[in-house]
C-alpha cells in the first residue's frame, strides 16, 4: 500500500510544473506609475513624465503577461501611460510648430 502511494506521488512530482505565487504588485505599480505620470507632467517636468509613462506601460504589460491578479489595475496603468505619452507628444509637436512659425516671422 505504501509503495503504491509513493509511486502516485512520484508521478505527480515528475509532471508538476512550478508555479510562482501571483502577486498584484506589478499591477498596482503600473497604476501608480500611470497616475504619477500625469502629476509629474503638471507639477514637475514633462520629460520626467514621459519616462514614468513608459515605465507604466512596460510594467503594465509585464503584469498582464504574468496573469497577475488585479489585471484591471495593469490595464488602467497602460492606458494612462499611453494617454500621457500621446498628450505630451502632441504638446511637444505644437510647441515645435509654433517655435518654427515665430522663427520664420522674425527672419522676414
Please indicate, yes or no, if residue 6 is contained in any of the structural domains. no
Number of domains in the chain: 1
Supply the range of the domain harboring residue 90.
21-106
pLDDT bin (cut points 50, 70, 90) of residue 79 is very high
**Strands (DSSP E) along 1-108, which ranges?**
none
90 falls within a domain: yes
Mean pLDDT for the stretch of residues 35-61: 91
Residue 42 is assigned to a structural domain of this protein: yes
5 found inside a domain: no
**Predicted pLDDT at 66:** 87
Specify the pLDDT at position 18. Answer: 44
| Distance of alpha carbon 67 from alpha carbon 75, whole angstroms | 12
**How much is the average pLDDT of 26-45?**
90
Higher-confidence residue: 20 or 83? 83
50 located within any domain = yes
Q: Is residue 43 part of a domain?
A: yes
Residue 67: inside a domain: yes
Q: Return the minimum-mean-pLDDT range out of 11-15, 32-36, 39-43, 47-51.
A: 11-15
How does DSSP classify residue 69? S
Residues 6+ apart with CB under 8 A from 61: 74, 78
Amino acid at each position: 500500500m505504501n509503495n503504491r502511494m509513493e509511486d502516485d506521488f512520484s508521478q505527480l512530482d515528475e509532471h508538476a510544473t512550478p508555479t510562482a505565487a501571483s502577486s498584484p504588485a506589478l499591477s498596482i505599480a503600473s497604476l501608480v506609475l500611470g497616475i504619477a505620470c500625469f502629476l509629474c507632467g503638471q507639477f514637475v517636468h514633462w520629460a520626467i513624465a514621459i519616462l514614468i509613462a513608459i515605465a507604466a506601460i512596460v510594467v503594465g504589460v509585464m503584469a498582464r503577461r504574468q496573469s497577475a491578479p488585479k489585471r484591471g489595475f495593469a490595464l488602467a496603468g497602460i492606458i494612462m501611460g499611453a494617454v500621457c505619452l500621446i498628450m505630451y507628444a502632441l504638446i511637444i509637436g505644437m510647441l515645435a510648430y509654433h517655435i518654427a512659425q515665430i522663427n520664420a516671422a522674425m527672419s522676414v
